[in-house]
Amino acid sequence: MMDLDSIECVSSSDGMDEDEIQHRILHPHPHHHHHTEFSSLKPRNGNNNNHVVGSTAIAPATSVHELLECPVCTNSMYPPIHQCHNGHTLCSTCKTRVHNRCPTCRQELGDIRCLALEKVAESLELPCKYYSLGCPEIFPYYSKLKHELICNFRPYTCPYAGSECSAVGDISYLVAHLRDDHKVDMHTGCTFNHRYVKSNPREVENATWMLTVFHCFGQYFCLHFEAFQLGMAPVYMAFLRFMGDENEARNYTYSLEVGANGRKLTWEGTPRSIRDSHRKVRDSHDGLIIQRNMALFFSGGDRKELKLRVTGRIWKEQQNPDGGVCIPNLCN
């Protein structure tokens, strides 16, 4: 049995002052239902017939669903659900925000639990909130939130590292977003040969190069190259991210190589999913790391300008039906 006291409403409305709360209670939007908005509502695989919930989908029971909607943050309420002496309810997160005053009638809230509404919630089964993106699953009310945190149909965030971009959507939407809004270079093929030049290699802060997107095997990959401080030492790092889920990313391998003057550094690994943030991948050092002195040695000349040529390739591991051994599948 789930400990009901351990679950709270997670609100995204931090910073809402009391006047805003009161306005929201007294002037709600007509026919308002809380759903997460996405930049793209197309199914993730672009296939309208694959796991897409259509007209036969089981939609939330609207009246009960509205009862379980917090009137302040509009998120679904999870125990403990609080109520005032007049029966108005709100979630535990918003209870502290309204200074223990009911936002509807202004009466003191006290510590009254709405046990009846909590019991009603226990009996509900609702579709995943990502059903419009293709998730066909239906869950008990208290299991739904846990599933939605890891749902394979949840939208992806923009993988662009040069700014805090808030765009979310499926892969096809993000590819168009990267191309049109961030002006990212797009390439077709599974091999690459890139040259990175920087006039003042002493500057490390904010030295993030624009990423490059590759399309091969019907998938998209993001190649990152940037400079940052690793402890006290400035370094350069290149790594690849897969535009899809982690379980799909494991089907691919990539290699990176940089060198000159008879020396070279190589890296081979599995691309990380864009579910992992750019910073998380970078801070885990999961890629080709080049110390600045080595980078300048590869650059040649008077060592006052960074000139690095990074080459690499992407391949797909395929299962051999006869021998049961993974064999690389290279694109042409």
From first to last of the 332 residues of the chain, give the pLDDT tens digit: 334 333 333 333 344 454 544 444 444 444 443 333 343 433 344 433 333 333 334 444 457 778 888 889 888 888 889 999 999 999 888 988 888 889 889 888 888 999 988 888 888 888 888 988 889 988 888 888 889 988 988 999 999 976 678 899 999 999 999 999 999 999 999 999 988 877 766 665 555 567 899 999 999 999 998 888 777 778 889 999 999 999 999 999 999 999 888 889 999 999 999 999 888 998 899 999 998 888 888 887 666 778 888 999 999 977 555 544 445 565 64
Structure tokens, 283: 């801070």
- 265: Cβ contacts below 8 Å, ≥ 6 apart: 257, 258, 259, 288, 290, 294
Report yes or no: 126 and 62 within 8 Å, Cβ to Cβ.
no
* pTM over cut 0.75: no
How buried is residue 152: exposed, middle or buried, by Cβ count under 10 Å (0-12/13-18/19+)? middle
Task: State the Cα–Cα distance between residues 242 and 190, nearest whole angstrom.
Answer: 13
Report yes or no: 21 and 91 within 8 Å, Cβ to Cβ.
no
